[in-house]
Amino acid sequence: MKIDVEQIRKDFPILKKKMNGKPLDYLDSAATAQKPRQVINAVTRYYKTYNANIHRGIYAISERATEEYQESKEMLAKFINGGDYKNIVYVRNTTEAINLVALTWGEQNIKEGDHILISKMEHHSNIVPWQLLARKKKAILDYIELKDEKFIDMDDYKEKLKNNPKIVSITHVSNVLGTINDIRYITRLAKENGAVVLVDGAQSTPHMPVNVGEIGCDFFALSGHKMLAPAGIGALYGRTELLDGMEPLFGGGDMIRAVYLQHSVWNDLPWKFEAGTQNIEAAIGLKAAIKYLNKIGMNNVREHEKEITEYALKRLKEIGYVDVFGPNLDDGMEKKSGVIAFNVKGIHAHDVAAVFDSEGIAIRSGHHCAMPLVTGLLQEGAVPRMSFYIYNNEQDVDRAIDAIEKAHRMFSRS
């Protein structure tokens, strides 16, 4: 079923505004998604009608806040097929989720000489925590090579699995290349070699159906702000037996069952990992975001992005002075997300983005928190990136192509 983009756009107040005197064309959803009025209203309603702390008050508005927060977890668990809500730990974002695993499970299980395996297409969120852990534990951080600067090199992956890594931490979808990894196969191979598997789902959860049960991973990290929810809410899915065995990262209120002068008893899952007052309003906003996405249907979200991305790749292919990174038309849309990083030959990425901005088009420019990858793609270490979502249409793509052509005209004269 085709989604009605024009109807969807009416739900996003920000798309009615202008930027630099031009209609806003938002092509930076890989960084953060815009918010529909349904999410905005849910957050506002919380503040206006039942603003209270959760798990604390035996009074009506506190009980409602607790109920809404709880329902949010239950909806997210169902959304990713994560089983019980007890397997869902709320954090600020994907970065915090991965750090939580590194600082708890990693601290308890990684020893000197152990191998940690990640890939060269990872976001800094899935690099730096493992660098810190490896340095502290004197462990070995290995990187899976890429094939054709697009895909995980599976031969190299299988070879590095022979080192018996304790954990394989891998992205589901690259935030630069737009590569959709065969995460089920990658996970299966890792599990066959006895490794724990963490999947970075920041770029997959908002854009396609996700089923952690089918993936078979031990941990799955995601961010709410990329899937229409407010900033400051993310989640870590973890298998019960692993979460049970992990020490809490933070100590304080609500994560305890009992506190004595010299020791404490931790609360049940998932609360033992959620110390202090949580981002209640953002969790409620996440619930509204999931309802919104469920109404559209994640299969329909994915099909729309395949169509718009294919159209964009075809338009870009017509321009001889543009290079596109990651899977292209020949590789098929099944391997490509709605992320297109590109290079306008002879023009710095920031200059390209500035021209886009002058035309009212928002794109990202830089290393996209993936410096090892981007510096390997382009010596300058910066590329422009367009990323699409449910509110984008072919007209947005056409305006982007016009901006590229304008940038080329401007800078080819200089």
Active site residues: 369
Residue 196's alpha-carbon distances to 27, 117, 187, in angstroms, are: 35, 10, 9
* CA terminus-to-terminus distance, the chain: 48
